[in-house]
Amino acid sequence: MADHGDDEDTLATPVIVDTGQFGTTDRDKAPLIQMHSLWKTYGMGASTVQALQEVDLTITAGEYVAIMGQSGSGKSTLMHILGCLDVPSSGRFLLDGHNVQDLDDTELAAIRNERIGFVFQQFHLLTRLSARRNVELPLGYAGVTSKRERSDRAMSALDAVGLADRADHRPSELSGGQQQRVAIARALVTEPAIILADEPTGNLSREQSTEVLALLDALWAGGRTVILITHDPGVAAHAGRQVRVQDGRVIGEGAAE
């Protein structure tokens, strides 16, 4: 684990590691993500919720996909499965051809750490750490032992989101838009192939949203697969492809009519 010593917050955000052999330019290959007849059930008995039902979804490396749907439609459940944070109740989920259900927790964590950068609505920054130290965290988890290297890489990630000059600020000293940009820097510092963003603009003003979406657009243009989860058609329009979900089912593709 990282030696982030004095912080007592728990890191709700999954952490990301160097993509190594996978790189970020593996477009035009076999589907990155294949879901076949996926179901997710929460609870038991009378309180059972079918959060996902018969979901079929294929995403190719390099796509920019928006998963769209109203609150409660199953978007976050789908994101958790896509991000290997949770497993489906039934059906098949292949990531890079690996059947995720066959992997144990350690293997799941490794895939998650190597391949995926997460961005959440609530930012999930550690309040007691500076922006730079927040961005360094995933590198610690990835086993980058050199302090100097962690610091340099965090600074370049912060530079990429336009916040190098705020590196020493804590989250409370930053605007919501800036906090989300720090979270994006943290997601990209290990160069994951996939960026999974769940309502990344949900807590932001219009202007801040524009900046955050421009960054996601740039990450996609740089070769990453971007999966953007949103209830907002204007946000979804940034993606080249929109997948609509309702009541746990994929009901169609394309912008909402």
When the beta carbons of 198 and 211 are compared against ligand ADP, the nearer one is 198
Largest Cα–Cα separation, the chain: 55
Q: Footprint of ligand ADP on residues 63-122 (CB under 6 A)?
A: 69, 71-77
Cα–Cα distance, 121 to 197 (Å, whole number): 8
Does residue 201 bind Mg ion (CB under 5 A)?
no
Residue 51 touches ligand ADP, criterion: CB under 6 A: yes
* DSSP 8-state symbol, 89: S
Instruction: Give the length of the chain.
Output: 257
Q: Is 73 in the site for Mg ion (CB under 5 A)?
A: no
Strand pairing partners for 36? 92
Minimum CB distance to ligand ADP, residue 244 (Å): 11
Q: Considering beta carbons, is residue 82 or 212 the nearer one to ligand ADP?
A: 82
Question: Nearer to ligand ADP by C-beta: 75 or 124?
Answer: 75
Can you read off the two tokens belonging to residue 197? 């963003």
Q: Which of 43, 97, 143, 222 binds ligand ADP (CB under 6 A)?
A: 43
> Helices (H), strands (E): how many in the chain?
7, 10
CA gap 132, 152 in Å, rounded = 9
> Does 42 interact with ligand ADP (rule: CB under 6 A)?
yes
Q: Which is nearer to ligand ADP, 2 or 228 (CB)?
A: 228
The span from the CA of 110 to the CA of 94, in Å, is 15
222 in contact with ligand ADP (CB under 6 A)? no
Residue 121 binding Mg ion, by CB under 5 A? no
Tokens encoding 122: 């609530």
Nearest-angstrom CA–CA distance, 35 and 56 = 5
Binding of residue 225 to ligand ADP (CB under 6 A): no
Q: Lay out the sheet containing 249-253: strands in order across.
A: 116-120, 194-198, 225-230, 64-68, 241-246, 249-253
76 binds Mg ion (CB under 5 A): yes
Tell me: does residue 251 bind ligand ADP (CB under 6 A).
no
Does position 233 bind ligand ADP by CB under 6 A? no
- Report how far residue 245's alpha carbon sits from residue 224's, in angstroms, rounded to the nearest whole number: 23
Residue 23 CB, shortest distance to ligand ADP, in Å, is 30
Q: Which residue's Cβ has the minimum distance to Mg ion?
A: 76
Question: Given the rule CB under 5 A, which residues bind Mg ion?
Answer: 75-76
Question: Given the rule CB under 6 A, which residues bind ligand ADP?
Answer: 42-43, 49, 51, 69, 71-77
